[in-house]
Amino acid sequence: MRKIGTFVATALLAAGAGAANAQDKELTLCWAAWDPANALVELSKDFTAQTGIKMNFEFVPWTNFADRMLNELNSGGKLCDLMIGDSQWIGGGATYGHYVKLNDFFDAEGISMDDFLPATVYAYSTWPKGTPNYYALPAMGDALGWVYRKDWFERPEIREAFKAEYGRDLEVPTTWVELKEIAEFFQGREIDGETRYGAAIYTERGSEGITMGVTAALYPWGFKYVNTPGEYDMEGAVNSPEAVEALEFYKSLYDCCTPPGHSDAYMVANLDAYKSGQVAMQMNWFAFFPGIAKDEVVGGDVSGFFVNPGQNIEASTLGGQGISVVAYSDKQAEALEYIKWFAQPDVQAKWWELGGYAVHVDVAGAPDFPDSTPFAGEFLKAMDGVQDFWQEPIYAELMLAMQKRIHDYVVAGDGTAKEALDKLIEDWTISFEDDGKL
């Protein structure tokens, strides 16, 4: 008994000491666990070398990221000093005081928001939207794009078969209708002795997956969240005929052209399906494209990249994040020092080199940028037409409602597209009423 007691006491002390002993010269940065995060670890070694501040990282997979990190912020936790939070969090981060306002710091250090791509400053840094109130520095530009098996697209026998069936050449699709035809063409086709499938699209239920996927179709059809910008009049916008058509289209794509069991797939599942040679195309964030380009199996000339196809208009779903200082951190000075270091043009250049999407104009605005990689040009095209989900403080609530309604319809096949969107308006109306906006 006494031995156990001593052990427990020691264990308790050790657990307590862990927190108390934390040195001043140490920072923890929280982000999602994905390719760019590894690049950031590499990049941050320079920061440690220059300042002596040790960097710790807390990376959480995307499907748990929002859930875990918003929980952390809402509990006033001190785990993270720096947070690379998702674009939709900015409203809540600013309104509920999770993020430190950076205007004074930017002014004092001479950091100008004009040095970053305007679309990213608008999306990642400002709240209320578009006002010069900054709560983050644009850290990582991102949008939803597509990867395709260039090697298959170039094979003469496949091209012939496609032309015979559809009467046109097999090229990168420029509209969603073309994309679906190509996906149908590849679905179930034998290539090199194995059965292949059309396209890996987002269908994840738990976090934000299927919403990100379906908006990639909704936006090009002309979907709008509201009729009047700044108001919350959603009737007729969210459930417009175009929106209904786009949603039906996404379901038909899911039904016809995805690999078996692709019913709860987000980034990682799409990557797996693509890298294992199951599918001809996958939708995914540009963030993964550097990794795909240097992959041992699908890298090099095997893969090509294209911007999200248009339909009625050209549009892409926005990804990407800004870097913020957490208001509950005891080490805000060091955290600001990191941001100051990160904003420097040469650091930004190295960031892009390592695989992070730097959005500093010296990097992304440089004339040789579009040709620097096979996907850089497509990335700039995408950033020209990005649209984002609600960034309202109550975004999580709005997101979960959409996840449910869309997944219920697309994957589970409940009801019609119109009903799903009508119910979504009901859910959102209640949320905005509760929040006092309606």
Partner 1 sequence: MSARSTAYSVGESSTRTKWIAAVLVIGYALVAMIPLVWIGMTGFKSPPDSIAYPPKVFFEPTLEGYVNLFTTRSRQTDEYIESLGPPQTWYDELVRERNMVITGPSRFADRYKNSIVIGFGSTFLAVFLGTLAAYGFSRFKVPLKDDLLFFILSTRMMPPIAVAIPIFLMYRELGLSDTALGMILLYTAVNLSLAVWLLKGFVDEIPREYEEAAVVDGYTRFQAFYKVVLPQMRSGIAATAIFCLIFAWNEYAFALLLTSGEAQTAPPFIPIIIGEGGLDWPAVAAGTTVFLLPVVIFTVLLRNQLLRGITFGAIRK
Partner 2 sequence: MSGGAMESVADAAARATPKRMAGRLRGLSDRAIAWLFISPTIVLLLAINIFPLLWTVYLSFTNYRANQPGREVKWIGTRNYERLLGSEDVWGYMQATAHFLVWTMVLQVVIGLGLALLINRGFRTSGFWTTVILIPMMLSPAVVGTFWTYLYQPQTGIFSYIINTFAEVGALNMIGSVSLAPWAIVIVDTWMWTPYIMLLCLAGLRSIPPYLYEAAEIDRANALQKFWYITLPRILPFLMLAVLFRGIENFKMFDMVVELTSGGPGSTTELASINLKREAFEKWRTGYASAFAVILFVTVFGLASIYVKALNRVRS
Per CB under 8 A, 20 contacts partner 1: no
Q: Which does 261 bind (CB under 5 to 8 A by kind): partner 2, partner 1, none?
A: partner 2
Per CB under 8 A, 196 contacts partner 2: no
- Paired with 175 in beta bridges are 310
Stretch that binds partner 2, among 30-38, 83-91, 126-134, 392-400 (CB under 8 A): 392-400
And the tokens for 187? 């679905």
Rounded to whole angstroms, what are the CA distances from 328 to 53, 96, 105, 395? 19, 12, 17, 21
Nearer of residues 15 and 49 to partner 1, judged by Cβ: 15
Name which position in 22, 302, 400, 438 contacts partner 2 (CB under 8 A): 400
Q: Which does 11 bind (CB under 5 to 8 A by kind): partner 1, partner 2, none?
A: partner 1
Determine whether 120 is exposed, middle or buried from the number of CB atoms within 10 Å of its CB (0-12, 13-18, 19+).
buried
Rounded to whole angstroms, what are the CA distances from 408 to 170, 184, 395, 402? 34, 23, 20, 10
Per CB under 8 A, 297 contacts partner 2: no
Q: Which does 256 bind (CB under 5 to 8 A by kind): partner 1, partner 2, none?
A: none
Residue ranges in 291-350 that form contacts with partner 1 under rule CB under 8 A? 291, 294-296
Per CB under 8 A, 276 contacts partner 1: yes
Per CB under 8 A, 397 contacts partner 2: yes
Per CB under 8 A, 344 contacts partner 2: no
Name which position in 149, 205, 251, 360 contacts partner 2 (CB under 8 A): 205
Per CB under 8 A, 268 contacts partner 1: yes
CB 132 within 8 A of CB 103: yes
With b for 16 or more beta-carbon neighbours within 10 A and e for fewer, the 404-430 pattern comes to bbbbbbbbeeeeebeebbbbbbebbee
The whole-angstrom separation of Cα 247 and Cα 413 is: 12
Name which position in 85, 92, 141, 290 contacts partner 2 (CB under 8 A): 92
The whole-angstrom separation of Cα 72 and Cα 80 is: 8
Name which position in 4, 20, 49, 164 contacts partner 1 (CB under 8 A): 4
And the tokens for 302? 């095997």
Nearer of residues 60 and 394 to partner 2, judged by Cβ: 394
Nearer of residues 44 and 63 to partner 2, judged by Cβ: 63
The whole-angstrom separation of Cα 207 and Cα 210 is: 8
Neighbours of 3 (CB within 10 A): 7
Per CB under 8 A, 213 contacts partner 2: no
And the tokens for 92? 């809540």
Three-class secondary structure of residue 343 per DSSP:
coil
Q: Which does 24 bind (CB under 5 to 8 A by kind): partner 2, partner 1, none?
A: none
Query: Residue numbers of the site for partner 1 (CB under 8 A)?
Result: 4-5, 7-8, 11-12, 14-16, 18-19, 28, 33-35, 38-39, 41-42, 58, 60-61, 63-64, 68-69, 71-72, 74-77, 79, 268-269, 271-272, 275-276, 288, 291, 294-296
Query: Residue numbers of the site for partner 2 (CB under 8 A)?
Result: 66-67, 70-71, 74, 92, 95-97, 205-206, 260-264, 393-394, 396-397, 400, 404, 407-409, 411-414, 434
